[in-house]
Amino acid sequence: MRLKRFFIVFVTMLPALPSLAQDCNPASLATAGPCTIQEIVTHFHNQVLRDSDVDIAEIEKASDEAVATTIDKAEEEVKDANRATTPPESFAARLHNSYEDFLNPLAFAINKIEESDDGQALTVRFNPWRSPGLEAGLTATIARPTLFSEVQKNIAEEKRAEVTKKVEDALGDFEDITLAFSYSLFETKECTLANLGHCRGRNPKIYRDLLSDVLANGALKDVFLMATETSADFDTENAKLLPFYDTRLSAAGTRQEEVYNLAKNVGTLGGTDSVTSLKVLNDAGIDNLATLIDNQPQLAGTLTYHHREDFTGPPEMSATLEYQRGLHNLNSLKGDQPTFSSLLATDLKKFSMARAGKVVLALSYKRVEPYGLATLGDFATDVPFTAVDIKATNEFKLKAQYGWETAMKLTGERTRLDFSADFARRNEGGKRTLNRFVTTATFTLPYGNNMSVPISLKYANRPEDLQQERKRLSVHFGLSYRLPSEMN
């Protein structure tokens, strides 16, 4: 009786024992057992893309390398388990981990949380808010607080490092926060043939249906159909694999090797067809669609507030408003179908991003609050310290840029004329400390497809703004060469 009871208890416990979970690694038959057939097919499909010369997202390369080293990493973790080899957590990681429970209920509003590469700042991006004619976003960046540089400079040099560390160790986590609110105004809700010519905004969704119609039914239909061709071999092999797609390789039992090789073959054949598709799209200039959208007129602004406390520095606030428009954009191609469709198809193949001119008008204002610190208190007893007293600063900037290709040609290419003007004025404590105006005219002479000679004429109201020139007017001759990799 006792033995039977023990046996029943033991059998019941078995499912509770932790299973030795294995990660899916589709790279070889030996490690692909836990993978679904879809994962194996996708792996070999993407490998063909990576091995070709087509442009793919960088992140895929990083993630595949991670898969390939999973086993090695697991072995390293086991070896390190008994050694204190873990480096100290960065500020951003510590903050992220400490407040994760607090942030979880806000997941509906948060789009992404990012730690900076150096670990010194944590950025929380909230979900963008969209309504007809307005798109807005909010981010909050929490930086590791440091002692304000103007305060550090006023501490006696021999004690500076020691006092700085003492103060920074005592600072809280939230003494340096920047809130940034960005918005684009007067965006068109949906761009159609009826309102093309007056569409505004760079959100691709505005133009999605208009462009899709050209792809599916218009002048780009032939490109679309060519880009969706598959080889007869792919069709035949994939048909054999259909019953297995949602199952794991291990479920194939004695046929694992056969199914694995079939999945590998289907992935490879599909990848080869995909490379051909990407070349078809590239030849049709489809990548230029993104540039035409980016060149659409847009009015955008940003408001930022940089909150800092006693030892970290004065609070700052800034506001910018910018109008941008590429001279050649989707609005330039307005017309009824099929005119728009034909114009777009022709334009994509001829359009050169490098030649696109832009109009930019930017207005910005920045205010830095007054700041004073008379003493460092207990942090610097008996340490010489000069009181800090900084007046409020207000800075106003205006920038305008305009450029275009002229009708004049040289060596078969058009020349360019660009104008820019920058104005900046700063007041500190009510006294004007900067009044700068610089304007530049640049005439660019092309020499072939990848070389050009820009000739600039620059005027500044202060000679010191002309980079070591002693006069207010300067002329500059330059040489610009575009590397073959930039031509693609």
Partner 1 sequence: MLPIGGFEAKPGTKIQVQVLDAKGDFITFAGALKSYGPDGNVTTWTSSQLTAGSGGTATLGDAQGYKVIILPILKKKSQGEMRVRLTASGPTSATEDDVVELIASTPFGWQIIIG
3-state secondary structure of 317: strand
Task: Candidates 4-12, 14-22, 280-288, 392-400: pick the segment binding partner 1 (CB under 8 A).
Answer: 280-288
Compute CA distances 178 → 92, 128, 144, 181, 326, whole Å: 14, 18, 12, 10, 31
Q: Is 8 in the site for partner 1 (CB under 8 A)?
A: no
Q: Is 172 in contact with 143 (CB distance < 8 Å)?
A: no
Q: Is 342 in the site for partner 1 (CB under 8 A)?
A: no
Angle (deg, nearest 10), helices 256-283 and 232-241: 140
For tokens 């020139």, what's the residue?
469
Q: Is 314 in contact with 296 (CB distance < 8 Å)?
A: no
Site string (177-206) toward partner 1, x via CB under 8 A: ---------------------------x--
Among 75, 89, 162, 235, which residue sits at the site for partner 1 (rule: CB under 8 A)?
A: 235
Q: Is 287 in the site for partner 1 (CB under 8 A)?
A: yes
**Residue in 100, 101, 95, 103 with CA at minimum distance from that of residue 121:** 95
Among 134, 290, 374, 457, which residue sits at the site for partner 1 (rule: CB under 8 A)?
A: 290
> Please, which residue, 163 or 196, has the CB nearer to partner 1?
196
> Please, which residue, 182 or 318, has the CB nearer to partner 1?
182
Cα–Cα distance between 418 and 404 in angstroms, integer?
6
The residues in 23-62 that bind partner 1, with binding defined as CB under 8 A, are 38, 41-42, 45-46, 49, 54-60
Closest approach, Cβ 453 to partner 1, in A, equals 29
Which class for 384: exposed (0-12), middle (13-18), buried (19 or more C-beta within 10 A)?
exposed
Return the structure tokens found at 285: 């200039």
Closest approach, Cβ 115 to partner 1, in A, equals 20
Q: Is 423 in contact with 397 (CB distance < 8 Å)?
A: yes
Return the structure tokens found at 90: 């960065």
Q: Is 239 in the site for partner 1 (CB under 8 A)?
A: yes
Cα–Cα distance between 292 and 330 in angstroms, integer?
6
Q: Is 145 in the site for partner 1 (CB under 8 A)?
A: no
Q: Is 114 in the site for partner 1 (CB under 8 A)?
A: no
Among 113, 136, 278, 383, which residue sits at the site for partner 1 (rule: CB under 8 A)?
A: 278
**Residue in 150, 94, 99 with CA at minimum distance from that of residue 120:** 94
> Please, which residue, 238 or 452, has the CB nearer to partner 1?
238
Closest approach, Cβ 252 to partner 1, in A, equals 16
> Please, which residue, 54 or 390, has the CB nearer to partner 1?
54
Question: Within 10 A of 97 (CB to CB), how many other CB atoms are there?
Answer: 10
Closest approach, Cβ 41 to partner 1, in A, equals 6
For binding to partner 1 (CB under 8 A), which residues are involved? 38, 41-42, 45-46, 49, 54-60, 204, 207-209, 211-213, 215-217, 221, 224-225, 227-228, 230, 232, 234-235, 238-239, 241-242, 245-246, 266, 270-271, 273-274, 277-278, 281, 286-287, 289-290, 293
